[in-house]
Structure 1
Amino acid sequence: PTCEFCVKTTPIVAPLAKDMEINLLQYNLKEFESGWNDYGIESTPTIVQYKDGKEVNRINGYQEKAVFETWFQENSVN
């Protein structure tokens, strides 16, 4: 990712997701511009959670590690 906040967020959420055994996929909107509309992305970074193929939650923007950790714990569907 090249957006400033994505660059700051990835090193926080990628290890958290791995440690918490959360299947986290990254989608490069510069490479796949249709993702803005396809997934209703208004800003980056955005983490979208799906269950049974439907969106159930999302978090936008850069957050501190504790915020992401709490969000993953409260919203994990794995």
Structure 2
Amino acid sequence: MSCIRVFLFLTLAVVSIVEINGLCGRNERFQKCGSSCPPSCANPDPGPCAQICKRGCFCRSGFMRNSKGQCTNTCP
């Protein structure tokens, strides 16, 4: 039983470290509660959006996701 507790503790620790470090790409930052419809090069003004939190990597201010999934400040 104690082995299971240690395993669960270590698993949670690793997940927390990954989230803190973000492991996000260039020009991205990790957010615990980001937009479910962030602007992109294909849709720079997504308009009305449901207020649903989404965890993950989001483009930094002034950047939008392009068709390759990268955050860029120059859209075609």
Class of the TM-score when normalised by the shorter of the 2 chains: under 0.3
Greater length-normalized contact order (CA 8 Å, ≥ 6 residues apart): 1
Q: Name the larger-Rg structure.
A: 2
Q: Comparing both structures, which one devotes a greater share of its residues to helix?
A: 1
The normalised TM-score by structure 2 is 0.25
